[in-house]
Amino acid sequence: MSVRLDHIGIAVKDLDAALGVFRDLFGLSFKGIEEVPEQRVKVAFLPVGDTKLELLAATGPQGPVAKFIERRGEGVHHIALHVEDLEKTMAQLKEQGIRFIDEEPRQGAGGARIAFVHPKSTYGVLVELCER
């Protein structure tokens, strides 16, 4: 099983303001903003070496990012691990007692198929598995 860090998700209130910091001040490149309507979120990916930052801003009050910011404030939201075979990895982890938020893979930003692991299984860290 070959795994690498795909990206780090950061929850922000204002995407333009966050781009002003990470793109304009830190000089990261930026590939545009994408909306994921079913998650009520818009995202911007900023490549950094072999990985990326994913800035996440809520588009409505009910989505998971809005709720995260309400509870915990802005900041690191999740880390995403790239896996080659999402179904197989999920099945192996479930066999070992790892809990998932998403029981089945779903569509994520950037054309990826993703599933979130429950943070109770990963020391409080929200882990996204993604396959591209």
State the virtual CA torsion across 58, 62, 68, 71 in degrees, nearest 10: 130
Read off the amino acid at residue 38. E
Least distance in Å: CB of 103 to Zn ion?
18
CA–CA gap between residue 37 and residue 118 (Å, rounded): 22
DSSP secondary-structure letter at 118? P
Least distance in Å: CB of 33 to Zn ion?
14
Residue, CB closest to Zn ion: 9
Closest Cα partner for 69 from 124, 10, 11? Answer: 11
Cβ proximity to Zn ion: between 50 and 95 the closer is: 50
Cβ proximity to Zn ion: between 32 and 97 the closer is: 32
Cβ proximity to Zn ion: between 9 and 63 the closer is: 9
- List of residues contacting Zn ion (CB under 5 A): 9, 54, 80, 128
